[in-house]
Amino acid sequence: MLGFCFRNPFHKKVIDSKEGGEKKAGERSYPFWWTIDGFSILANRGSNTYYSRSFTACGFNWKLRLELVLEKDAEKYVGLYLSNDDAASKGSEIKAIYKLFIYDQLHGEHIQKEGEDYFHSKSLEGFCFKVAVNKFDSSKSGLCVNDRCVIGAHVLQAFAFKSADKEGIHESWSLNKDLTPRIYTWAFKDVSKSNVVLKSEAFAAGGYNWYISLYPNLATCKDFLGVFLIMHNATSLASNTSVNVEFSLCLLDLDNAKHWKRTGNRKTLFSSGSFGSGWGQFLSWKEVQDPSRGFLHNDICIVQASVVILGVNTIA
């Protein structure tokens, strides 16, 4: 039996019933929890879409949409979206800053994605938080315990304004207030022996996941070391959305501290159709192998990435 329950598993107040727009300074907003009993039944049904009941947060009505998606790689994913109906009925555009999350019941923590979106008559759903179904089956994850899964959303801020009715293409650029760079360092092993692209583990920065890819003197980067920053699962971005990123990639010199660093253009945009940026000729392979430089130790290269999300561009 598949059951849907809309209560907080900690039995706290879960819905902000305030009437109005953006929450006032110091006013608390509450997350919405959606508990699903019999999650395995849902996961085995194939590609289907499910909606939670409506809940109120920051003065607007929302729903969670859960979708089972089979990707081209034959991997099945759970896609979680925030949906809004007020924008269509009131002829307004609503900007919301919010989190989508799945609760890890074993470790008492969430895996989550935070961002912002504009909801209007042509786009009633926000970004997608996508997690592979096989992660729910893992005994170590705690995402599904006793066939029960707990997902949710927390609308942190939301306000409405009248949309422009003029014909044409409308682009909105939402700037990020937090410009603290996320620094990530990864050691690539067996670099000179490799004849394939090397990839770091994924890391989070600005609400998105990233990884570093290394091209060690491959045919596509002959006689050079190529280094790129890649947005992980960029295909989950809406086709009209791009992320404005400032980043740098640095090859560490462990002997002389004369690191080799290159910085990308502040106008660099990552999207579902353009998910990587970097340099195919980052540094000559000869310099990488130079024993007087400390770039290659025991066939290990250490690369450091600095990532700042400047904002999000949306075209409607």
- Residue bearing the bigger pLDDT, 176 or 95: 95
Model's pTM, two decimal places?
0.52
Topology adopted by domain 3-165: 2.60.210
CB pairs under 8 A, 24+ apart, for 256-261? 256/293, 256/294, 258/293, 259/304, 260/287, 260/295
Helix/strand/coil (H/E/C) assignment for every residue in the chain = CCEEECCCCCCCCCCCCCCCCCCCCCCCCCCEEEEEECHHHHHCCCCCEEECCCEEECCEEEEEEEEEEECCCCCEEEEEEEEECHHHHHCEEEEEEEEEEEEECCCCEEEEEEEEEEEECCECECCCEEEECHHHHCCCCCCEECCEEEEEEEEEEEEEEECCCCCCCCEEEEECCCCCCEEEEEEECCCCCCCCCEECCCEEECCEEEEEEEEECCHHHCCEEEEEEEECCHHHCCCCEEEEEEEEEEECCCCCCCCEEEECCCCCEECCCCCEEEEEEEEEHHHHHCCCCCCCECCEEEEEEEEEEEEEEEEC
107-162 confidence digits (pLDDT tens): 888 889 988 888 887 778 888 888 888 888 877 889 999 989 999 999 999 988 76
Share of the chain above pLDDT 70, in %: 82
Q: Return the structure tokens found at 22.
A: 């953006």
CB 247 within 8 A of CB 308: yes
- Residue 92 has a pLDDT of 74
Residue 185 has pLDDT above 90, yes or no: yes
The confidence band for 7, taking pLDDT boundaries of 50, 70 and 90, is very low
For 182-315, the fitting CATH number among 2.40.50.140, 3.40.50.300, 3.40.1080.10, 2.60.210.10 is 2.60.210.10
The confidence band for 31, taking pLDDT boundaries of 50, 70 and 90, is very high
CB pairs under 8 A, 24+ apart, for 221-225? 221/280, 221/281, 223/284, 223/285, 223/286, 224/280, 224/281, 224/282, 224/283, 224/284, 224/285, 225/251, 225/282, 225/283, 225/284, 225/285, 225/288, 225/301
What is the location of CATH 2.60.210.10 in the chain?
3-165, 182-315
68-100 confidence digits (pLDDT tens): 876 666 678 888 999 987 766 666 788 899 999
- Residue 173 has a pLDDT of 61
